[in-house]
Structure 1
């Protein structure tokens, strides 16, 4: 009788936890308010990427005003950077949506499934159900923590280079405005770009410097927005392997 009662308790408690996870915790974990700091950081990063994209496009258009074809390759390279910045922007949007979706999936699907397996293990011989449940719980914890952890690490790196990125944006805007104003003044007064022609080599060097700064900023954004999340995922996979001594192949049970 005592053994039967113990089995019933072990069977019922995981199911109660599953219900709490679905109907109570899922709404809380998936709420934007819980992830306000993470979402705010991603919005700031999104703004920075959009400013870099606009600045590189404006600089590219302004460089085309330089007489001759000397700076044309630089203008084309700057224009090409917009495509890479778009990749970074997509990665940021993906992180922003996943930060709430992963929590909801973990507490509505993975954790309840693990609880059902725990309940089933009471009446099923062998440890297969319990092992599967442990893996599901570990995977649920991992996907909940991946985005906040990656954003935190990204913020630590970006804090070091944020001033450099802001300097690049401000310098690009000033350069574009100077080139556009010089072009308008010369065109309206003489119809030719005489003053610009006198300083073509200096302006070209300035444009090359701007290109290097944009490339550096792009590299920082690619690392913090694309590479770090992947590394964080690999880190969590490694932690799970260390804890359970098994991989996450859910179709293979020993």
Structure 2
């Protein structure tokens, strides 16, 4: 009898110890930037790419405005409008970076200790409700701790396919920007010197506009990839985790019944 009555006390003591270890030891590691170094490095690399794309788009927009006439003005305006999309992606990347640390701390400093505390109480009371709630808290802690690293890994798989395309977009934008600037300077010089060169100038401007349209299309494609990898995939990964948790907990642990 004595050994049987001591089992709940030993189980509760072990759970309280686990809660303390999680709160005061594991939470420090989970909130440490070094612990998430691979994830933050991937996010920093993505941030650098977004900033390069935004700078290249702004430079291309400014260069296009140097062309004579209004044919290229809509392209310049559209390139300038893309900065809002790149800013959105940049904000999402910073949010993921901060959540990497915050979710780890919240999981190990609050959710897991709370779940262990409820399980410790349940060791004496034998409540199905407390057990179900504590298991759901543990599942939630695991989900929010893993969602950002999992989404970053999923994003990296997609970005690896488009790395060459994005780099090509940057190279093409820089080359086109320089060519348009040179063309604009050459156009002003030609018009100031000889009116007989107007035909050549018009052909050059037409080619510059076509090149600017191609650059705009490349930037739109790059922005779409960035929005998918930085904004859409994290949401989908979070929904996937929520669905898995519901399926697992719903199968293994039916909804709690009211205790008499």
Task: Name the TM-score class by shorter chain.
Answer: over 0.9
Which residues in structure 2 correspond to 1:27-106 (within 5 Å)?
27-106=28-107
* Residue equivalent to 2:132: 131
For structure 2, the residue ranges without an aligned partner over 5 or more in a row are none
- List per-residue Cα deviations over 1:182-239 (Å, max 9, x = no partner): 3234445754895543322222111111111001000100000000000100110011
- Paired residue for 2:169? 168
Q: Does 1:218 align with 2:223?
A: yes
Contact persistence 1:42–1:96 (CA under 8 A): yes
How far, CA to CA, are the matches of 2:238 and 2:207 in structure 1? 46
Report the TM-score when normalising by structure 1. Answer: 0.93
**Residue of structure 1 aligned with 2:209, choices 196, 204, 219:** 204
Question: Partners of 2:201 and 2:75 in 1: how far apart?
Answer: 17
Q: In angstroms, what is the RMSD of aligned CA positions?
A: 1.8
Residue 71 of structure 1, CA deviation: 1.0
Size of the aligned set, in residue pairs, is 249
- Deviations 1:104-125, CA, capped at 9 Å, x for gaps: 1100000000001001112324
Greater helix percent: which structure? 2
TM-score of the pair, normalised by structure 2: 0.91
5+ residue gaps, structure 1, are 247-251
Give, in whole Å, the separation in 2 of the partners of 1:206 and 1:177. 12
Indicate conservation of the 8 Å contact 1:63/1:75, yes or no.
yes
**Secondary structure of residue in 2 paired with 1:67:** coil
